[in-house]
């Protein structure tokens, strides 16, 4: 769990109209998931074997199959975009949306609506493409916004390294401890990198997509904002912490 001390009021020269794209992405992912055969909320998909068949067809239609993408199949070229809005279960959806809500708002405010939207879609595509290239023979379907959200985390690390987040670590008895963002995000990236080195190409979490997304997001922010637009310490302009 992560807690964010907001700092979007007067902290930087980005848009001041609120993170509309971030909220729109969250709403779109949640709505599409609710309508999908995975959520269990839409009775039109049937029950039992019917809903299982519908789920398989849903993932194959909208998810990324690395072998098809790397072969250049025309129908597969757009799947890295559509897969960003498909999730494999409630925990998958809620975990991704939490990270997007916590870190996406400030990144969007800094970049602006249009740039953030293009950044999210472009880096998400590259993250899934990177995983596909590394596992070119893999026939397993890949879905989820994790690659794009990892890119948001990478950009956040460069833009707001000294903003503070509160994390609950299981090995510390879930005590809520506040750390600079760079410590939390570097720790998170290290875990993803280690997991990607040990994970195979079979079913499970696509850690390599996280690594690629985070790296691309950080590099983009470094190239785009290294000329002096970086915000090291957000203004303390809030009345305490929000609770995701």
Q: What is the DSSP letter of 47?
A: S
CA angle 65/209/75 to nearest 5° reads: 25
Output b/e per residue, 76-103; b: 16+ Cβ within 10 A: beebbbebbbbbbeeebbeebbebbbbb
Query: For the residues 81-98, what does the mean pLDDT come to?
Result: 95
The DSSP 8-state label assigned to residue 42 in this structure reads -
Output the CA angle 36-108-127, nearest 5 degrees.
55
Task: Give the lowest-confidence range in 40-44, 80-84, 180-184.
Answer: 180-184
CA 78 to CA 81: how far, in whole Å?
6
Q: Enumerate the domain spans of the chain.
A: 17-162+176-225
pTM of the entire predicted model: 0.82
Q: pLDDT tens for residues 149-199?
A: 999 999 999 999 888 776 545 444 444 556 678 888 888 899 999 988 886
Q: What is 17-162+176-225's CATH topology?
A: Rhomboid-like fold (1.20.1540)
Q: Edge to edge, what strands does the sheet with 2-4 contain?
A: 2-4, 164-168, 176-180
Q: Which residues contact 13 (CB under 8 A, 6 or more apart)?
A: 229
Find the mean pLDDT for residues 121-145: 94
């Amino acid at each position: 769990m992560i807690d964010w001390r907001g700092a979007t009021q007067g902290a930087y020269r980005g848009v001041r109209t609120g993170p509309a794209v971030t909220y729109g992405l969250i709403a779109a992912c949640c709505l599409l998931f609710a309508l999908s055969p995975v959520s269990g909320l839409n009775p039109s998909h049937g029950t039992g074997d019917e809903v299982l068949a519908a789920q398989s067809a849903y993932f194959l239609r909208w998810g990324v199959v690395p072998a098809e993408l790397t072969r250049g199949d025309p129908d597969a070229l757009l799947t890295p975009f559509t897969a960003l809005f498909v999730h494999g279960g409630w925990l998958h959806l809620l975990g991704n949306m939490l990270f997007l809500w916590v870190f996406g708002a400030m990144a969007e405010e800094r970049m602006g609506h249009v740039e953030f939207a293009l950044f999210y879609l472009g880096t998400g595509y590259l993250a899934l493409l990177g995983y596909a290239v590394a596992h070119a023979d893999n026939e397993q379907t890949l879905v989820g916004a994790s690659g794009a959200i990892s890119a948001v985390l990478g950009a956040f690390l460069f833009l707001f390294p000294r903003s503070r987040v509160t994390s609950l670590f299981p090995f510390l008895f879930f005590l809520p401890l506040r750390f600079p963002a760079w410590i939390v995000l570097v720790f998170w990236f290290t875990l993803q990198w280690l997991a990607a080195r040990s994970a195979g190409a079979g079913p499970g979490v696509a850690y390599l997509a996280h690594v690629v997304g985070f790296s691309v997001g950080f590099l983009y922010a470094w190239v785009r904002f290294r000329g002096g637009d970086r915000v090291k310490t957000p203004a303390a302009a809030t009345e305490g912490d929000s609770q995701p």
